[in-house]
Structure 1
Amino acid sequence: MIHSTKPIDDATPLDDISGLKLPHNRMYTLKEIYEAEANNIALATLKYLSAPPSKKEAPFTYEWLQQLHQEMFGDVWEWAGEFRQVELSIGIKAYMVPTTLKELADDIAYWDKNRTFDIYETATRIHHRAVQIHPFQNGNGRWSRMLANIYLRQNGSMPVRWQEELLSKENLKQDEYIRALKKADSGDYQSLIEMHKHTY
């Protein structure tokens, strides 16, 4: 059973910086850490979104779902790509992460094979389920949105122009995004699907 994304703040607070791979000769501000993460994510963006990735490059298997997080955050965090061992305020119980992520990978393969949904709904369901599971210590929201964009790009659409400060107080789309995720918790995906249609 996947728990609700309520309360959804999307980003786990960075109150634990153990595992930080940046040079240890000084202290870092949160802004500097986020900038380092953004630079790392830019490399994954170039790899997967500059051109449509093949099924071999982005197979959406259980192993690749884990690998993508490592590619996005591995230059900054030692725990990138490793499943969390702690409970968060959002997401399923930590012990359930491997099994539930494998179920998501199996569902994606089934949806693809049977054309269960159109590409926008499939991307939406991947995104939503990934947020619900919250497999990693941090970076889950950005990883979930990247998954959706890679799926869209692979299937003939352009990626969504997600603003990575999506959940900052200054972003007017914050409330819209959170409401869409909460509706999806109840099985109403339409608002979130519409957000996935706002591509480049």
Structure 2
Amino acid sequence: MAKYSSSPDSYVYPGTDVLINKEGIKDAATLCIAESNSYLFASAALKAHPVKGNFDFNHLQQIHQRLFGDLYEWAGQARTVDISKGTSRFANHQYIEQSARQLLRQLQDENYLRDQQADTISERAAHYLGELNAIHPFRDGNGRATRHFIGQLVKEAGYAIQWENISQQQMTDAAILSFHGDVSELASLIKDNLKALTVRK
């Protein structure tokens, strides 16, 4: 489903806000169901067989492609239109790749959050999640793809984020705050739902 304001928008069927899709579905409700079903299957497959990458932009693109590629031709590709949601206007499409690559390059300097305690991991994971939300690199599916990305990052650091315990409204409220520079609520949500996978010294 097209949930954002964008004009002009080559991603939707003319005269509608329905995203052009491989199934040719032009009814919004039907596409919503099809996308949900496709995502559930792809998400489970991705968890079972994660993307092998370096937590760079290409890694995030592969995750997005795996999650949404069965339904959308543009899955995994940086959007080519500018979009906004409510009062939040996301990064200009011309600077998406540059901004995302520059941001995620910092992860290497932080050793991908490994050997860190829960507080630090929560704070830094929230930082990257918030920044990726502000960039919003894809036409749709950004939140789901970035949660998989951050979840895999944190898992390789020895923790699991229990996203299922966080409501959509909680995520939305925290994302809005992070968009305006305050990631404290996002960090708190992550910390409250962070589970150690191994005994840490």
Q: TM-score, normalised by structure 2?
A: 0.73
RMSD, aligned α-carbons: 3.0
Cα drift, residue 26 of structure 1 = 9.4
Q: How far apart, CA to CA, are the structure 1 residues paired with 2:18 and 2:112?
A: 41
1:99-110 aligned at under 5 Å gives the runs 99-110=98-109
Counterpart of 2:94 in structure 1: which amino acid?
Y
Alignment of 1:95 onto 2:89: no
One-letter amino acid of the counterpart of residue 94, structure 1: H
> CA distance change for structure 1 residues 141 and 12 in 2, over 3 Å: closer, same or farther?
farther
Q: Which moved more, 1:34-43 or 1:144-153?
A: 34-43
Richer in strand (by share): 2
Identity of aligned residues (%): 23
Q: Is this contact kept in 2: 1:41–1:73, CA < 8 A?
A: no
SS of residue paired to 1:195: helix
The counterpart of 2:187, out of the listed 175, 193, 197, is: 193
Matching residue within 155, 158, 173 for 1:156: 158
Partner Cα distance (2:113, 2:48) in 1: 30
Matched, 1:21 2:22: yes
Q: 2:64 aligns with which of 51, 54, 69?
A: 69
Q: Cα deviation per residue 1:68-114 (whole Å; 9 max; x = unaligned)?
A: 21111112211100111111114111111111011112122222279
1:38 deviates by 2.3
Paired position in structure 2 for 1:34? 36
Unaligned runs of at least 5 residues, structure 2 = 6-11, 196-201
Change in Cα spacing, 1:153 to 1:29, as seen in structure 2 (3 Å) is same
The aligned counterpart of 2:8 is: none
Q: Which amino acid aligns with 1:17?
A: L
Partner of 1:83: 78
2:91 aligned partner, one-letter code? I
User: Do the aligned partners of 1:124 and 1:189 also contact (CA within 8 Å) in 2?
Assistant: yes
Which residue in the other structure is 1:179 paired with? Answer: 173
Shift of 1:25: 9.1
Number of corresponding residues: 174
SS at match of 2:161: coil
> Could you tell me which amino acid in structure 1 is paired with residue 66 of structure 2?
E
Aligned counterparts, 1:121-160, within 5 A: 121-160=123-162
1:192 partner amino acid? L
